[in-house]
Structure 1
Amino acid sequence: MTHDLTLPDTARLRRHVEFLAAEPRSRLRAPRAMERAEAYVSDELTAVGWQVERQPFDVRWQLGSTDRHGHRALALKPRLHRRLRGANLIASLPGPAEGPVVVVGAHLDSVSGSPGADDNASGVAVVLEAARLLAAEPVPPRVVLAVFDMEELGLIGARQAARALGRGAGVRGMICLESVGYFADDPGTQRLPVGFERIFPEVSAATRADGYRGDFTLVVHRRSSAGAAETWRRAAAAASPALPGLLLRDPRPDGLLGLLIGLAVPPANHLGRSDHAPFWNRGIPALMLTDTANFRNPHYHRSTDVPGTLDYGRLAAVTAATAVTAMSWSAGPGPAV
């Protein structure tokens, strides 16, 4: 690993978040803001050497959710979309060796009425800063960056991307950045979903022992991505002692069976509330990195989700750990899906 890879630029991370979270951005409700955000992401990636492809999609009768603002979870806001037209941004470095890739992705859109600094300008900022670090490597890593559209409508863009990226040489793994910039060190700031303590006793006990402080990044994984989760935890600890990574293993298998089990165990559905879920559903190992969103952040999906509420020092550590994990995972053994 290069020296730069361990030293992300906090000023750049803040600049990315401040631009993206200047206003709400949505293909349906704020299309001009979404276009500005998309252009910014494309220009930033191109400037550090990535080749960016805009992949539009046009889909009909998609079961998803509403992107109206509010503090409720995705699973409680179902909606059937008659037609949706959007676009993902997919970026790669010129000249990497042939072979399966690791996808690092985050969604660009926000809900109506929220500038979405944490959800999810923070995740996109990490993708952009990781892009700079990875591009500086002497040997281009087999990593693809994905900036998804319409996550807030029900993971619409990620569904299309998982299908498209799974073709060809295949995908070894996927890292999803979902609301990764809000931290709270005071006791009692971290909450758990209803029924969580019964299903995930070890993680619940660790949270309780820490006084229910919201000072960690939750690393959601499955058996297929357990090695990558541990790599991320160790890299985060090396980047900053202020950023513990709390590992949470989803016991469900990858593929359709895991999706069906989730329908029968509601607390498990919280573990699939972002763009990694379509990759899991296609049998692709994946991680979700998150500050737990509405279970910690009082500004979730509200007009107060602004850049000044984020912790950019810890966000830099998230970036470093993500870049290290993407490189390690892309170079490691194991079949691609």
Structure 2
Amino acid sequence: MDLAPDVPALVRELTRRADPLRLRHDVEYLADRPRSRIRAPEAMLRAEARVTSELAAAGWRTERRPFDVRWRLGLTDRHGRRARALTLRMHRRLTGANLVAELPGGDDRPTVVVGAHLDTVAGCPGADDNASGVAALLEIARLLGGLPRPPAVTLMFFDMEELGMIGSRFAARRPGCTRQVAGMICLESVGFFANEPGTQLLPAGFGMAFPRVAAAVRSAGQRGDFTLLVHRRSTAAAASLWRRAAGAAEPPLPVVTLRDPRPDGPLGALVGLAVPPVSHLDRSDHAAFWNAGIPALMLTSTANFRNRNYHRPTDTPDTIDYRRLADVAVATAATVAFWPAGGTG
């Protein structure tokens, strides 16, 4: 069945209910200080309490799921804008916790996971990376919870993404959902936009690996005014739906779509290690689901390829575009509501 005629109507309804000021309040609360299970555990507990409280007010039931992992290859959480591939390290032991939320009374329909990481690197308050994603996820909870028949959805707030997606790697292997997982949407640094020409950078070798995407960005003056939507064949239809929902916003939210040619599963991860331009597509929690064979897509404002505040103390709430962040939340909620059964397209 063609759901396209329903998308603009739902986007209009959700836009009326979405509140940029509420998103600002969430980001300001979360980005008041750096959040790290190792370096700032009190701040992480404070952030968890905020998330749990807001979800409860929206009618969601939240479960805290601890994990304890040993000898895991990951990353450092030092601040700065160095390429993450240069900061690999082996973690002897990490103890953290993800937050998982579902609406009470869910049925047995396959669920869509929507996730964002709660932690930051050391010394960075992380307004864009990733209080913007967490705030958008809270707004999605409010929007979906208010629908007459909410879709099957599970919300996940991941721990230790900055240490190498430790929390999402645990969650992808053991989703713990009451239903089969149909797919996953990752919200990664989704709140920073720049309208000036030349504000959008491209990774080295990106033009050769993804010539059409590079050409589209360059032809638009390399303006950092879009949301990048990364998907694979398994989520092509969902990506098309998200783009349609973003286009129904007023004004339309610009989107650049990038199809990762790799397959889901371990082979895709190995290719990413061998091809540096492709490895940038693995830089958030969706990659853990890809590697576990679960269809996923990522939404991002491209982090350090646009935002000079990336992983720095200047990643503060005043740098976020809350109107466009609300549009991201609305488009994501609409995509979840109409998630395609087949996934591909």
Give the TM-score normalised by structure 1: 0.96
Partner of 1:303: 313
Instruction: Pick one of 203, 217, 224 that aligns with 1:214.
Output: 224
Instruction: Pick one of 256, 275, 296 that aligns with 2:266.
Output: 256
**Higher deviation after alignment, 269-278 or 1-10:** 1-10
CA distance in 2: counterparts of 1:112 and 1:42, whole angstroms: 24
What letter corresponds to residue 239 of structure 1 in structure 2?
A
CA RMSD of aligned residues (A): 1.5
**Higher deviation after alignment, 133-142 or 145-154:** 133-142
Cα deviation 1:247-269 (Å, max 9, x = unaligned): 00000000011111111111100
What letter corresponds to residue 313 of structure 2 in structure 1?
S
Instruction: Pick one of 307, 313, 321 that aligns with 2:331.
Output: 321
CA distance in 1: counterparts of 2:251 and 2:212, whole angstroms: 22
Partner of 1:279: 289
Instruction: Pick one of 80, 86, 90 that aligns with 1:76.
Output: 86
* Aligned-pair CA distance for 1:2: 8.0
Partner of 1:176: 186
Cα deviation 1:105-152 (Å, max 9, x = unaligned): 000000000000000000000000000000001112100000000000
Partner of 1:334: 342
Partner of 1:105: 115
Partner of 1:17: 27
* Aligned-pair CA distance for 1:3: 5.5
Instruction: Pick one of 6, 27, 30 that aligns with 2:15.
Output: 6
Q: Is the 8 A contact 1:91 1:146 kept in 2?
A: yes
Which 5+ residue runs of structure 2 have no aligned equivalent?
1-9
* Runs of 4 or more above 3 Å deviation: 1-4, 166-169
Does residue 89 (structure 1) correspond to residue 99 (structure 2)? The answer is: yes
Give aligned-pair identity as a percent: 66
CA distance in 2: counterparts of 1:106 and 1:257, whole angstroms: 24
CA distance in 2: counterparts of 1:106 and 1:168, whole angstroms: 20
Does residue 64 (structure 1) correspond to residue 104 (structure 2)? The answer is: no
* Residue aligned with 2:105, SS: coil
Does residue 47 (structure 1) correspond to residue 47 (structure 2)? The answer is: no
* Aligned-pair CA distance for 1:167: 6.7
**Higher deviation after alignment, 162-171 or 250-259:** 162-171
* Aligned-pair CA distance for 1:168: 5.9
* Aligned-pair CA distance for 1:88: 0.2
CA distance in 1: counterparts of 2:80 and 2:11, whole angstroms: 42
**Higher deviation after alignment, 259-268 or 55-64:** 259-268
- Cα–Cα, structure 1 residues 246 and 34, in superposed 2: closer, same or farther, change >3 Å? same
* Residue aligned with 1:32, SS: helix
**Higher deviation after alignment, 267-276 or 67-76:** 67-76
* Residue aligned with 2:174, SS: helix
* Aligned-pair CA distance for 1:6: 2.8
Cα deviation 1:269-305 (Å, max 9, x = unaligned): 0001000001000111101000000000000000000
Q: Is the 8 A contact 1:96 1:140 kept in 2?
A: no
* Aligned-pair CA distance for 1:170: 1.8
What letter corresponds to residue 6 of structure 1 in structure 2?
T
* Residue aligned with 1:165, SS: coil
State how 1:141-290 maps to structure 2 within 5 Å: 141-165=151-175, 169-290=179-300
Which 5+ residue runs of structure 1 have no aligned equivalent?
none
Give the TM-score normalised by structure 2: 0.94
What letter corresponds to residue 310 of structure 2 in structure 1?
Y
Q: Is the 8 A contact 2:108 2:178 kept in 1?
A: no
**Higher deviation after alignment, 229-238 or 200-209:** 229-238
* Residue aligned with 1:46, SS: helix
What letter corresponds to residue 148 of structure 1 in structure 2?
F
- Cα–Cα, structure 1 residues 316 and 167, in superposed 2: closer, same or farther, change >3 Å? closer
* Residue aligned with 1:175, SS: strand
* Aligned-pair CA distance for 1:99: 2.1
